[in-house]
Amino acid sequence: MKIAAVIPARLSSSRFPRKVMCKIHGLPMLEHVRRRALICKGFSDVFVATCDEEIAEMTANFGGNFIMTSKDHINGTSRVSEAIKHIDCTHAVILQGDEPLILPRHIEFLLENIKNEPSVDTWNLIAELDSKSELNRHSFVKGAVNCAGNIMFCFRKSPFFSDFNIQSKIIKKLLGVIAFRKEFLLKFVDFEPTPIEKAESIEQMRIIENDMFVRGVLVSPSLPSVNEPDELIEVVNLLDLDGEQKKYLDLILNDQ
């Protein structure tokens, strides 16, 4: 078994252009993510998949591996599916270039789950809801998880009417770390987009609507990503004030 980490990245983010190149303690945000992946035990390789020469050059200057992809991809999963054709691996873990707080222990826990059940096609890190207000916050995806740990249905606003203390037992946040068995990912990207996927803009629903499942892997805590410029402040504050984050920050900065 060979599990590769692939970080899809581009400069033309609609809400925050060039965000992956924003400097945090002197390093581009994308480089923080790549170095955290390198800290993890269990990856055979770590790659950046990009269509932008500037990102490729930056990655190479830091000694990283990159794969150039088409400019026509509509999402990160599609970009990774092109990249892994050139990677010797059995599974791919997709990490997001705008999540510089990702914890290596969370990724390692995902890798343990994959190694224990390598025939599972798709995995997604999930986390507990922090508050009742998150049930109807459309900016991130949630999912109802069954007793086997599989995500049965994904949504942006809760379809349930029960009290929050009941909903919170079955509804989890879907985090930005998703893993695929390589052979499945290469097939999945050729599936036609499905009705709920298109209506709600939730890519995981293409799998579920085709009568397959996504295995949830519960971790804690959930951590913010950087979607808009204001969120960068929260991320920097956590890096400076949280003990675990500070430990990884020191490791990353000392690796220069």
Mean pLDDT in residue range 12-34 = 91
What band does 224 get if pLDDT is binned at 50, 70 and 90?
Answer: confident
The continuous run of DSSP H or E covering 106 comes out as helix 104-116
pLDDT given for residue 256 in this prediction: 56
Dmax of the chain from CA atoms? 53
Domain range annotation of the chain: 3-253
The continuous run of DSSP H or E covering 152 comes out as strand 150-155
**pTM for the predicted model, two decimal places:** 0.94
On the question of pLDDT at 109 being above 90, the answer is: yes
Mean pLDDT of the chain: 94
On the question of pLDDT at 249 being above 60, the answer is: yes
Under 8 Å CB-to-CB from 126, ≥6 apart: which residues?
143, 145, 151, 172, 173, 174, 175, 216, 217, 218, 219
Mean pLDDT in residue range 54-78 = 95
Does a cis peptide bond (omega within 30 degrees of 0) precede residue 17? no
Q: How far apart are CA 202 and CA 196, in angstroms?
A: 8
> Which CATH architecture group holds 3-253?
Alpha-Beta Complex (3.90)
Instruction: Give tens-digit pLDDT for 233-245.
Output: 999 999 999 999 9
Which residue did the predictor score with more confidence, 14 or 48?
A: 48
- Name 27's bridge partners: 24
Which tokens sit at 41? 């035990």
Percent of the chain with pLDDT over 90: 89
Which tokens sit at 108? 């390692």
SS3 160: coil
42 neighbors 111 (Cβ within 8 angstroms)? yes
